[in-house]
Each structure stands twice: as C-alpha cells, then as structure tokens.
Amino acid sequence: MLNHLERSGYVKTEAVGRAMLAVERERFVPESMRHAAYADHPLDIGLGQTISAPHMVAIMVEAMRAKEGQRVLEVGGGSGYHAAVMAQVVGPTGHVYSVERLEPLAERARASLEASGLSDRVTVLVGDGSCGWHEHAPYDRISVACGAPEVPEPMLEDLAEGGMLLIPVGGGYVQELVRITRDGDRFRREGLGGCVFVPLVGRCGHR
C-alpha cells in the first residue's frame, strides 16, 4: 500500500510514510472486510459510515503539516484509523482528540487504538463535534472527516496561533477540501481540490 501511495504522489514526506507504515489498517476495519483493508478505496464500517481510502488519508495527513508535540482535534473519528496515523505523526509528546457522534463506532475505535498501543496518545470523545470541541482548545490542527455546508466559526476560534483547519466544504456528497490557517485575527483560506465525504451531522453541520 505504501509503495503505491508514494509512487502515486500521495505520500510526500518521510513523516507521513513512517506513520502510515506504523499503523496496521486491518485493526480498524470490520473482520468481514479485513481481506480488503489495504485496497485503495473506502470501506463500509457500519452505521452508514466508512473508513476513508488510504490515498485520502494520506492527502489529509500531508495537508495538515502536523509536527511532533502538537495537539490535534479530529472530527468524525469513525474507525479511529486517521487518528492513529495522526498520533504517529505528532508522536508521544503530542495528543489527538477524536470526536465521534456514534457510540458503537467510538467504542470500536477505542478498542482498535488500544490494540495498536495508541490509547495513551488518542482520546476518543463521543458527542456532536460539528462545532468543534472547545474543552481541550486551543488546537494546533483540526481535521474534519465529514463534509460541512460551511466552515463552522467555533472551529476557527479554537485554533491556536498559526494553527490549521482542514475541512471538506460543500453540499451532499461532493465537497472541496479547504485548508484554513490562523494568523492572529485573520484566516487564510486555500482550496485543495474536490473530495467526497459523508455529511457532517450536527448543530454546525447538515441537520
């Protein structure tokens, strides 16, 4: 899988390559899907949710430009795989807070992270993360793995100085991946291309 992602240009940095190599993706998919764990397409994880294709995870993690020791918020935690990769990037001195609104998925993610030896680096939270999760702010990075109708203002407020928010924005199942960087009271917005994610559901998302 990693060779394919590197040859295709999705994995660009050693840090992301090492992180993806360190995480066993099969731990994060249902047993019935483990034969396809490393196939480069999304997989159904139940309850109408999916685990993103490996190339999309690589795109997201590369775009975050996260560094060791940083505090990361992930919204739409799903299987926990993306959080596991991010935890490898930020290392033992960093921390990832992963919010999932569906309790059964959150429980599975916790079990998968524990089996991967990452339960001390990732905190799985259950609730509506569509507006972010203010309790542990400020965050150096916020990553949203669901499509939002617009950028939630509270997420911008919870960014640390120089922090980045990565979020798919658009209607239905077709969005643009947007990266927003905080510079004091100003926010620089960049479009990174089209993407397809399940909708962000909640107070600041699709209702």
Note the pLDDT tens digit of each residue in 65-85. Answer: 999 999 999 999 999 999 999
- Active-site residue identified among 8, 32, 52, 79: 52
* Cis bond upstream, residue 138 (ω within 30): yes
Q: Is 207 a member of any domain? A: no
Q: Is 133 a member of any domain? A: yes
Count H helices and E strands in the chain, helices first.
6, 9
Digit-coded pLDDT (tens) for 89-129: 999 999 999 999 999 999 999 999 999 999 999 999 999 99
Q: Is 206 a member of any domain? A: no
Q: Is 79 a member of any domain? A: yes
The structural domain count of the chain equals: 1
Q: Is 176 a member of any domain? A: yes
Q: CA–CA separation, 131 vs 2, rounded Å?
A: 33
Digit-coded pLDDT (tens) for 158-172: 999 999 999 999 987
Q: Is 205 a member of any domain? A: no
pLDDT of the residue at 207: 74
pLDDT of the residue at 174: 80
Q: Is 203 a member of any domain? A: no
Q: Is 202 a member of any domain? A: no
With pLDDT > 70 as the criterion, what percentage of the chain qualifies?
Answer: 100
Its pTM surpasses 0.75: yes
Q: Give the domain CATH number at 39.
A: 3.40.50.150
- Give the three-state DSSP class for 117: coil
Our answer to whether residue 52 is catalytic in this structure is yes
* Owning domain of residue 113: 2-195
